[in-house]
Structure 1
Amino acid sequence: MYLSENSNSKIDGVINETLSGKKNFTSSTTLTSDEALAAGLKFLGAGYKEIGKPGSGVYHSADGTKEFRIDSGSIGGAHAPGVPHVHFGVKNPETGKYISNNHVPYED
């Protein structure tokens, strides 16, 4: 499932590259914090829910196959790519393992 190939939107670009199944990678696109949150909402769709403790920053789509993560380690740039970022992930519905994990840098 891909969004319009003709879209010039950075948000759609990040979602499309996540859906491409590249495994574990860092996006070449840098979003603003507002764009990152808007992209997360669009990526997850209706009915998403927070996973784990309240405030965990880990959200799954209603069907459990998509994940948007804004945890403290990512926000602080504590791991690769070493800058503040959010995660967009696609999971195998049978195994729960990542098919794609996109690290998307953001700045304001």
Structure 2
Amino acid sequence: MIASGEKTIELRLNDEKRRLINVGDEITFINTEDNRKTLKTEIVNIYKYKSFKELYADLPLLKCGYTKEDISNAKPEDMIEYYSEEQQKKYGVLGIEIKVIS
């Protein structure tokens, strides 16, 4: 979805590693099924929130990896699969807006 331009916002925890990123930085995504396939992106904006509940209420979820078919079922609790509520409270969360550069 990132390669096609459908997904332009990556959702992450605002942990120590992500606190080091800035607009203009490059992020390389590696295909987990074939690590020879990579996608280089540039950060164009960073949206900071206390929780995914706040993020989901503010950002366009179709740009966050949801499709038209599953958008009606999208909920902040979907992210608990990746980040616990305790982690969200401790660090906060990010929407990292990116554009593909190669």
TM-score greater than 0.5 by the shorter chain: no
Larger Cα-atom Rg: 2
State the TM-score, normalized to the length of structure 2. Answer: 0.30
Bigger relative contact order, structure 1 or 2 (CA pairs below 8 A, ≥6 apart): 2
State the TM-score, normalized to the length of structure 1. Answer: 0.29
